[in-house]
């Protein structure tokens, strides 16, 4: 369909031509038809294109003033125009300039339509979505001067016929998918001033005769895959100002012929595979300002002719260069950027380097330089990057660098520097990155340290003293490595306020005191190394809450206490707590083989089964659980009691605080029981108090023994509670269950399970049917059961319990007449440690005539 319309449109154009209208009318018709049939103009940018006016006044159209011929169609940067390449515009025979740059034109350009444009002078189709092969330049594009096809998606080879476009001065193919070799025919474009083809997958060597391009000024084919040698003929590029062949795979040597390129300003050959020596032919290249031959395979020395130029930047890093840096380098008055790193240069640097130029970037790292740094490196106060790590420099930081406000990036690690760092150096307000590790510096960190630091690494020196409070005023700090120095004193608590800190390494110093506890500011911290200091106290639980921590080394300190269970929440790649004084059970999650070496050297640590740690005492751990369980229980009971106090009138009146201890799982609430202690519910009176029968809402019946004659006093109370706790723990089928106990303002209450058939005493002596109900076999069962209950109290309970008031009234019977020993009012726990001579045991106690045999023996 589209094709049909297209051909229809061609026919109509043809018929117009045949109709012999005036050229101006014809051209207006061409414009309108292309607009209507081929262009998409969603923003109506071309809506002043009307038959009623002359095209010379239409948007994007320019005419020759005298002839009113259309000479330019310029849609540059309209942005939203789309459609196929509008070759039909080229039917306007007077058209010289056509630009559709920076729009949305797409699709391939057919050879037939492209050929319509062979007469144009200026063609800018940059920044569209054009694709496919760029058509041959046929018939000859003899007047084409400017061709900009950059930033499209053209594929295939650059058409060799481009070499016939002998007027071409400017060609830009930047950032397409042009592949294959550069056509040799390019070298016929003797008018060519600018040739740009970076960021294309071009391959193969440069045309041998490249030197024919006598007018070539700018030649940039970087970031392609060019290989082979740089042709000697480059030396014939007599007009050349800028060569950029960086990031290719060029091999061979840098041709000597470049010494002839007197107008050369930029020489960028970096990131290739060039080898051999840099030729010493730069003496006549006095225009040269920027040289970058870094990242090659170059050997030999830095040529004196190169070092002697007035270069702005000299980058020869990442090669195999060696020898001294020529002294003449320091006479350069333009030098701003000097990158000599990753070579094998040796000797001392030119003494006066920095005195004559506004040096900003100085990077001589990873060489074999020795001696002192030039004193005046920052003489012009412009130095920003001060990088000389991994050399053999000695002496102090150059005096000029001590007071160099412009410095922001310092890497001087791994040398033999010594002396103190001037305080003014630390306080330089631009200072962001400092790595001075592995030197022989000494002195302390001053209070005036710069607040803009993001990284400070000074490990492996002899720095000493306490950390100044200013160390906490580094809001931007991400990494702090003060390890392997002589720092002392306590760790400032405020370190944890460093919100952006990701790595903190204070390893192998003399820090003491405790690890700061409040760590809420360390949201970004991923690595914490405080190992090999003299830190004491416990490992703060809060470490387990650090959201990003994955490296934790606290080894070789004097840390004590338990390992926080919270540590197992962390996703640690490295954990080292070895060689401290940690104790107690290794928390779950850490008691695995993986962590054995992380925990070694803490003899008091224990684990149920992780070897080689000793076993944890089981009893102890059970009692820990019990205490824990009981405290949780107590907490809930107290909480519910508080609720009772608020809710219940009864207690609101007495306004007393109730204490309740529960020993069994009870399906009711304590206040349900306590509100039912009414006279109507009394079922018995004992020596120590009244007994109530309480039926709860749940239907369960309990017996409540309300004790009076409360002896006030903390000791009395404590004794009551401890006994009650002992009794509450007893579980035996022949001992009545104490469900819970509570202590109020003026009475105590013990709540037991209710025994349907009352006491054996009552049944035998008061109930007329008693004798009938209790046949001999039942009596035997009762006697046996009661004896088993007592035996359990004496022998199986820990600690043992002596009832001291065994009588038929204290033997209760459930609905099936099974006996339960009850009423422990006088019971005494027998603890071996207790001296029998003092305390209640020595007194004769109990109901008259029924003194327990056990009691009388021991008294």
Ligand X SMILES: *[C@@H]1O[C@H](CO)[C@@H](O)[C@H](O)[C@H]1NC(C)=O
Instruction: Specify the residue, 46 or 812, whose C-beta has the smaller distance to ligand X.
Output: 46
Shortest gap between Cβ of 54 and ligand X (angstroms)?
A: 4
Q: What gap in Å lies between CA 790 and CA 801, rounded to an integer?
A: 9
CA geometry: angle 306, 308, 314, nearest 5 deg: 55
243, 269 in Cβ contact below 8 A?
A: yes
Closest approach of ligand X to the CB of residue 371, in Å: 23
Question: Applying CB under 6 A, which part among 43-51, 293-301, 384-392, 556-564 lies near ligand X?
Answer: 293-301
Site string for ligand X, 50-89 (x = CB under 6 A): ---xx--x----x--------xx---xx------------
Q: Report the residue from 26, 33, 119, 133 that binds ligand X according to the rule CB under 6 A.
A: 119
Near ligand X in 400-459, by CB under 6 A: none
Question: Among residues 223 and 533, whose Cβ is nearest to ligand X?
Answer: 223
Structure tokens at 650: 């009864």
Nearest approach, Cβ of 448 to ligand X (angstroms)?
35
In the chain the first and final C-alpha atoms are separated, in Å, by: 120
Q: Minimum CB separation from ligand X for residue 130, in Å?
A: 10
Measured from the CB of residue 547, what is the shortest distance to ligand X in angstroms? 34
Give the separation between CA 625 and CA 585, rounded to whole angstroms. 13
State phi, psi for 680 to the nearest 5 degrees: -65, -15
User: Which of 152, 319, 332, 483 is the binder for ligand X (CB under 6 A)?
Assistant: 319
Tell the burial category of 520 from Cβ atoms under 10 Å away from its Cβ (0-12, 13-18, 19+).
Answer: exposed
Single out the residue of 342, 413, 483, 598 in contact with ligand X (rule: CB under 6 A). 342
| 644 lines the binding site for ligand X (CB under 6 A) | no
Q: Is 859 in the site for ligand X (CB under 6 A)?
A: no
566 DSSP 8-state letter? G
Among 80, 93, 249, 617, contact with ligand X (rule: CB under 6 A): 249
Render the burial of 235-268: b for 16+ CB within 10 Å, e for the rest: bbbeebbbbbbbbbebbbebbebbbbbeebbbbb
Number of residues lying near ligand X (CB under 6 A): 47
Nearer to ligand X, 264 or 559 (CB): 264
Residue 200 interacting with ligand X (CB under 6 A): no
Q: Which residue has the tokens 């809402």?
A: 697
Q: Token pair 């006030």 is at which residue?
A: 712
The span of 180-188, 370-378, 493-501, 702-710 binding ligand X (CB under 6 A) equals: 180-188
Min separation Cβ 495 and ligand X, Å? 33
CA distances for 854 relative to 98, 770, 791, 819, angstroms: 121, 29, 11, 20
- 775 C-beta neighbours (distance < 10 Å), count: 11
User: Which of the ranges 295-303, 388-396, 526-534, 728-736 carries the binding residues for ligand X, by CB under 6 A?
Assistant: 295-303
Residue matched to tokens 């062979």:
118
Does position 284 bind ligand X by CB under 6 A? Answer: yes
805 counts as binding ligand X under rule CB under 6 A: no
Count other C-beta atoms under 10 Å from residue 221's C-beta: 24
- The DSSP annotation for 168-234 comes to --EEE--SSEE-BPPPGGGGG-TT--EEE--SS-BEEPPPTTGGG-TT--EEE--SSEEEEEPPGGG
367 binds ligand X (CB under 6 A): no
273 touching ligand X, by CB under 6 A: yes
Handedness of CA 833, 835, 838, 842 (dihedral sign): positive
Distance CA 525, CA 542 (A): 13
Q: Residue 234: left if φ>0, alpha if ψ -120 to 50, beta else—which one? A: alpha
Of 243-251, 511-519, 561-569, 834-842, the window that binds ligand X (rule: CB under 6 A) is: 243-251
Q: Does 106 bind ligand X (CB under 6 A)?
A: yes
481 catalytic residue (yes or no): no
Joined together, the tokens standing for residue 786 give 């009661």
Question: What span, in angstroms and rounded, lies between the C-alpha atoms of 495 and 473?
Answer: 9
- Nearest approach, Cβ of residue 60 and ligand X (Å): 11
DSSP, collapsed to helix, strand or coil, labels residue 658 as coil
Helix/strand/coil (H/E/C) assignment for every residue in 350-404: CCCCCCCCCCCEEECCCCEEEECCCCCCCCCCCCCEEECCCCEEEECCCHHHHCC
Q: Binding of ligand X at residue 102 (CB under 6 A)?
A: yes
Binding segment toward ligand X, per CB under 6 A, in 184-192, 235-243, 571-579, 839-847: 184-192
- Any binding-site annotation on 381? no
* 738 belongs to the binding site for ligand X (CB under 6 A): no
Parallel, antiparallel or unpaired: strands 122-124 and 97-99: parallel
Question: Among residues 145 and 855, whose Cβ is nearest to ligand X?
Answer: 145
DSSP 3-state of 571: coil
Q: Binding of ligand X at residue 755 (CB under 6 A)?
A: no
Min. distance of Cβ 12 from ligand X in angstroms?
Answer: 23
205 is an interface residue for ligand X by CB under 6 A: no
Residue 175 interacts with ligand X (CB under 6 A)? Answer: no
Query: Sign of dihedral through CA atoms 641, 644, 646, 651?
Result: negative
- Among 102-110, 600-608, 646-654, 749-757, the segment contacting ligand X (CB under 6 A): 102-110
- Rounded to whole angstroms, how far apart are CA atoms 579 and 451? 36
Under the criterion CB under 6 A, does residue 176 sit at the interface with ligand X?
A: no
Q: Does residue 259 belong to the site contacting ligand X (CB under 6 A)?
A: yes
Contact of 289 with 311, CB cutoff 8 Å: yes
Q: Judged by CB, which is closer to ligand X: 293, or 456? A: 293
What's the rounded Cα separation, in Å, for the pair 652 and 350? Answer: 93
CB of 354 to ligand X, least distance (A): 25
Annotated catalytic residue: which of 805, 814, 823, 838?
805
Two structure tokens written together for 846? 């109990």
Query: Could you tell me if 55 and 94 are in contact, meaning their C-beta atoms sit under 8 angstroms apart?
Result: no
Least Å distance, CB 188 to ligand X, is 4
Burial state string for 569-587 with b = 16 or more CB within 10 A and e = fewer than 16: bbebeebbbbbbebebbbb
**Is residue 170 part of the contact set for ligand X (CB under 6 A)?**
yes
Residues 148-167 that bind ligand X (CB under 6 A): 148, 163
- Residue 38 CB, shortest distance to ligand X, in Å, is 12
Stretch binding ligand X (CB under 6 A), from 136-144, 472-480, 532-540, 651-659: 136-144
- Does position 124 interact with ligand X (CB under 6 A)? The reply is yes
CB nearer to ligand X: give 45 or 490.
45
Contact between 295 and ligand X by CB under 6 A: the answer reads yes
Establish if 103 lies at the interface with ligand X (CB under 6 A): no
- Smallest gap, in angstroms, from Cβ of residue 204 to ligand X? 13
344 binds ligand X (CB under 6 A): no
Residue 391 binds ligand X (CB under 6 A): no
Q: With binding defined as CB under 6 A, does residue 520 bind ligand X?
A: no
**Matching residue, tokens 């083809």:** 197
Residue 365 binds ligand X, judged by CB under 6 A = no
97 contributes a contact to ligand X by CB under 6 A: yes
| Nearest residue to 298 (alpha-carbon basis) of 250, 350, 245 | 250
CB 563 within 8 A of CB 602: no
Residue from 174, 176, 247, 671 in contact with ligand X (CB under 6 A) = 247
Q: Which part of the chain contacts ligand X (CB under 6 A), choosing from 273-281, 639-647, 730-738, 808-816? A: 273-281
Which positions are catalytic?
805
Residues at the annotated binding site for ATP?
Answer: 706
Binding residue positions: 706
Chain residues binding ligand X by CB under 6 A are: 53-54, 57, 62, 71-72, 76-77, 97, 101-102, 106-107, 118-119, 122, 124, 126-127, 140, 142-143, 146, 148, 163, 170, 184-185, 187-188, 223, 225, 247, 249, 251, 259, 273, 275, 281, 283-284, 295, 297, 299, 318-319, 342
């Amino acid at each position: 369909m589209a094709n049909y319309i297209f051909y229809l449109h061609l026919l109509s154009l043809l018929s117009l031509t045949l109709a012999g209208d005036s050229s101006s009318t014809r051209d207006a018709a061409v414009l309108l038809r292309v607009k209507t049939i081929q262009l998409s103009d969603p923003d109506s940018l071309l809506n002043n294109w009307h038959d009623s006016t002359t095209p010379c006044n239409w948007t994007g159209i320019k005419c020759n003033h005298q002839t009113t011929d259309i000479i330019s169609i310029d849609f540059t940067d309209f942005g939203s125009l789309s459609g196929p390449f509008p070759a039909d515009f080229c039917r306007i025979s007077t058209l010289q300039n056509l630009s559709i740059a920076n729009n949305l034109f797409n699709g391939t350009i057919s050879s037939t339509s492209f050929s319509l444009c062979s007469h144009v002078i200026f063609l800018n189709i940059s920044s569209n979505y054009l694709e496919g092969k760029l058509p041959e330049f046929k018939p000859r594009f003899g007047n084409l001067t400017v061709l900009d096809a950059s930033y499209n998606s053209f594929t295939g080879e650059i058409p060799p016929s481009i070499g016939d476009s002998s007027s071409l001065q400017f060609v830009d193919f930047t950032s397409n998918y042009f592949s294959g070799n550069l056509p040799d025919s390019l070298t016929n474009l003797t008018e060519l001033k600018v040739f740009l083809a970076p960021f294309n997958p071009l391959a193969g060597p440069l045309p041998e005769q490249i030197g024919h391009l006598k007018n070539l000024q700018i030649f940039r084919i970087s970031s392609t895959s060019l290989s082979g040698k740089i042709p000697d003929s480059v030396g014939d590029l007599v007009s050349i100002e800028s060569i950029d062949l960086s990031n290719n795979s060029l091999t061979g040597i840098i041709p000597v012929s470049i010494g002839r390129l007197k107008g050369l300003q930029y020489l960028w050959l970096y990131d290739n595979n060039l080898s051999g020596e840099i030729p010493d032919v730069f003496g006549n290249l006095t225009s040269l300002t920027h040289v970058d031959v870094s990242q090659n395979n170059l050997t030999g020395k830095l040529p004196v002719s190169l070092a002697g130029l007035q270069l702005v930047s000299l980058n020869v890093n990442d090669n195999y260069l060696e020898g001294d840096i020529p002294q003449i380098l320091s006479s350069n008055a333009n030098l701003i950027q000097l990158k000599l790193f990753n070579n094998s240069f040796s000797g001392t640097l030119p003494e006066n380097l920095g005195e004559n130029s506004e040096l900003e970037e100085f990077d001589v790292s990873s060489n074999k330089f020795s001696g002192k740094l030039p004193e005046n490196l920052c003489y012009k106060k412009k130095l920003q990057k001060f990088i000389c790590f991994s050399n053999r420099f000695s002496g102090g930081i150059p005096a000029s660098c001590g007071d160099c406000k412009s410095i922001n990036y310092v890497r001087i690690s791994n040398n033999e520097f010594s002396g103190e760092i001037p305080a003014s150096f630390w306080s330089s307000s631009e200072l962001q990155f400092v790595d001075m590790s592995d030197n022989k510096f000494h002195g302390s960190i001053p209070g005036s340290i710069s607040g803009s630091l993001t990284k400070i690494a000074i490990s492996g020196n002899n720095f000493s003293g306490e950390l100044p409070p200013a160390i906490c005023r580094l809001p931007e700090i991400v990494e702090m490595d003060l390890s392997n120095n002589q720092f002392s004193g306590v760790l400032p608590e405020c370190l944890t306020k460093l919100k952006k800190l990701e790595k903190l390494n204070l390893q192998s110093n003399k820090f003491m005191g405790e690890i700061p506890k409040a760590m809420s500011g360390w949201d970004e911290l991923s690595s914490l190394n405080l190992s090999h200091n003299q830190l004491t106290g416990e490992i703060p639980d809060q470490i387990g809450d650090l959201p990003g921590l994955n490296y934790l080394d606290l080894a070789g300190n004097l840390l004590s206490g338990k390992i926080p269970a919270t540590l197992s929440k962390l996703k640690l790649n490295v954990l080292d707590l070895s060689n401290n004084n940690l104790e107690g059970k290794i928390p779950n999650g850490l008691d695995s083989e993986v962590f054995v070496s992380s925990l070694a050297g803490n003899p008091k640590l224990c684990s149920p089964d992780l070897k080689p740690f000793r076993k944890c005492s089981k009893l102890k751990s059970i009692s820990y659980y019990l205490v824990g369980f009981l405290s949780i229980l107590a907490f809930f009971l107290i909480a519910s009691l508080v609720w009772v106090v608020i809710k219940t009138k009864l207690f609101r009146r007495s306004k007393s605080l109730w204490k309740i201890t529960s020993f069994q799982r009870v399906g009711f609430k304590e206040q349900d029981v306590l509100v039912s202690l009414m006279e109507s519910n009394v079922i018995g009176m004992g020596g120590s108090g009244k007994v109530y029968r309480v039926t709860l809402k749940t239907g369960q019946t309990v017996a409540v023994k309300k004790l009076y004659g409360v002896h006030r006093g903390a000791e009395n109370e404590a004794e009551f509670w401890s006994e009650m706790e002992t009794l509450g723990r007893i579980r035996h089928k022949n001992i009545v269950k104490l469900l819970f106990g509570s202590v109020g303002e003026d009475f105590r209450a013990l709540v037991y399970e209710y025994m349907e058939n009352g006491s054996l005493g009552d049944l035998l002596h008061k109930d007329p049917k008693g004798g009938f109900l209790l046949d001999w076999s039942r009596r035997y069962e009762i006697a046996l059961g009661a004896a088993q209950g007592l035996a359990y109290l004496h022998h199986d309970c820990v600690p043992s319990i002596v009832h001291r008031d065994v009588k038929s009234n204290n033997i209760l019977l459930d609905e099936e007449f099974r006996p339960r020993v009850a009423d422990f009012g006088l019971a005494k726990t027998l603890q071996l440690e207790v001296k029998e001579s003092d305390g209640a045991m020595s007194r004769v106690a109990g109901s008259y005539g029924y003194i327990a045999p056990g009691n009388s023996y021991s008294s």
